[in-house]
Structure 1
Amino acid sequence: MAYFRKRDNGWEYRISYKDITGKYRQKSKSGFKTKKQAELEANKIEIELSKGFQINNNIEFCTYFKNRSELYKKPNVTATTWDKYNYTLSKIKGYFDKAKLSSIKPSHYQKFISDYLNQYNWQTIKMINTHIRQSIKMAIHEGYITKDFTAFVVLPKPDDSNVDSKFLELSEYQKLISETSNEVKYKSHFCIYLI
């Protein structure tokens, strides 16, 4: 329940509630010009509390991602996959540093994907985006934020310019067959015929 009082700098609301651990907490804010403004703001907070949202909006994006990954991913993934999550965390730290989870907007995230990660290949960008999106969905579910800032991100298109260089042309393949058919003393030469 919210309590209101007039102060020197305007109206203040104070809300008492129990957090998820059962401890009593208080949330207050002052500086409202009218009591009605304070009531409207307090009502929004009380609605969020009734829906299970966390009032602690001060958690940093890096901290949340690290804590969530250690709790949900580390015990359930291989060492290689865990290294990938740590890699994603390093990129989050490098760009967002101490940014609060609740302060990140879709435009900030798009800039992170477009500008900061532009030197990486498409698969790496896709992996980082997937890790972050999983984390943000959990943050919404846990009530730390209400909107998914990753929802409408536009990933860069994969670079298909090197696709042709990965495969042999027919003439190159025929030359390879003729060169290896002269001496089939290695198993690798024999494997070419199987293809």
Structure 2
Amino acid sequence: MREARLWASRIEADQSLGAIKASKNILFSDYFKEWYTTYKAPKVAPITLSRYKIVYKVLKNNFKGVKLDKMNRTKYQRFINEYGASHAKDTVHKLNALVRSCVKSALLDEVIAKDFTQGIELVYNTNKTRKVDYLEYDELMKLTELTASKLNHNFTSRYIILTAIFTGARISEILALTWKDIDFKNNTITINKSWDYHFKTGFKPTKTAASNRTISAPQLLLGWLKQLQGNDKKMVFTNQYGTLPTPTAVNKTLRKLLKECGLHKKNFHFHSLRHTHVAYLLYNGVDIYVISQRLGHSDISVTTKKYAYLLNKHTKKENDKINSALDQLVNKKISLNKD
């Protein structure tokens, strides 16, 4: 009986080793595909899944015939060097993040013994990195005033632009707004869904759980939105054609308005309004934690990382205020060189 149990245990162990051994024969790119198909595809949004598919194609083209268990840091670093030479920082960072998650899975599966992505130096092309553009205070005033002066309830793109200026919300969140989300009594807007303009499937969940939020909205904005109540009983931004304007159409309207304002911003697009919203709030001394919650970020670190360039500028301003305040501790008639 004891010998039978030992024999069964050896068979089970051999089968387990055989499974791992079989997995070790898998190509790096194929393992990546199996990984995201098994662990990510069932729960991520279609647009997110498309990013995994793009990375798969990149790995397939750059690691032809390379088995997962033959991967090492040198091979991967050489790939990053070559790929990064022609891609922006954000693109390289996102690709590496997906590969690292896959490699951690391979470690758990015992297909590889070491994490070959650890300690990798990311390389990227600074010329490919798109400069984030935003509007300064006086520029924002010009755009807001001009847009408000051209409102027409039949053309809802301008209302969408003003909503972005006053809320900092993403375009998918704004397009998804229904009248039930607008609280005219308490002056708030609730964001609890997004609009799938990529695959045209209608409503979809927000980007993250933290993106579900209720934010304050000024009466001025809510007053403008009331002008649209006769367009549709459900959707806020339904236009004269009974549809929601596309992001392309909204961006076209935005560029036209910027041109009329005499503002020439090469890299400015609709999402830049979100950055402009943050810049304006920082300019007016709003706490970064409050801004983070308003943007729907899961953690304040997401905000500080994404808007570091704005925070650095804000920090200089705050340091000047600190120095000015500390200077008040000393009577200016007193010489600092006095013994």
TM-score range, shorter chain: 0.5 to 0.7
Tell me which of 6, 12, 20 is aligned to 1:54.
20
Over aligned residues, Cα RMSD in angstroms? 3.2
Structure 2 vs 1, CA of residues 169 and 149 (structure 1 numbering), >3 Å: closer, same or farther?
Answer: same
Q: Alpha-carbon deviations, 1:150-189, whole Å to 9, x = none?
A: 01111236857724xx1234564565567x28x8132738
The corresponding residue for 1:116 is 83
Secondary structure of residue in 1 paired with 2:48:
helix
The corresponding residue for 2:30 is 63
Does 1:128 pair with 2:95? yes
The corresponding residue for 1:20 is 16
Q: Distance in 2 between matches of 1:18 and 1:167?
A: 61
TM-score normalised over the length of structure 1: 0.61
Does 1:79 pair with 2:74? no
The corresponding residue for 1:162 is 131
Secondary structure of residue in 1 paired with 2:77:
helix
Q: Is the 8 A contact 1:74 1:82 kept in 2?
A: yes
Q: Alpha-carbon deviations, 1:60-95, whole Å to 9, x = none?
A: 101111111111111121111111110110010110
Structure 2 vs 1, CA of residues 71 and 171 (structure 1 numbering), >3 Å: closer, same or farther?
Answer: closer
The corresponding residue for 2:291 is none
TM-score normalised over the length of structure 2: 0.37
Q: Is the 8 A contact 2:84 2:125 kept in 1?
A: no
Q: Distance in 2 between matches of 1:175 and 1:80?
A: 35
Secondary structure of residue in 2 paired with 1:76:
coil
Count of residues paired in the alignment: 146
Tell me which of 174, 178, 184 is aligned to 2:149.
184
Structure 2 vs 1, CA of residues 19 and 167 (structure 1 numbering), >3 Å: closer, same or farther?
Answer: same
Query: Which residues of structure 1 form unaligned runs of 5+?
Result: 1-15, 26-52
Percent of aligned positions that are identical: 28
Q: Is the 8 A contact 1:95 1:116 kept in 2?
A: no
Q: Alpha-carbon deviations, 1:5-33, whole Å to 9, x = none?
A: xxxxxxxxxxx851239xxx5xxxxxxxx
Once the two structures are TM-superposed, the CA of residue 99 in structure 1 deviates from its matched residue by 0.2
Aligned pairs (5 A) from 1:2-13: none
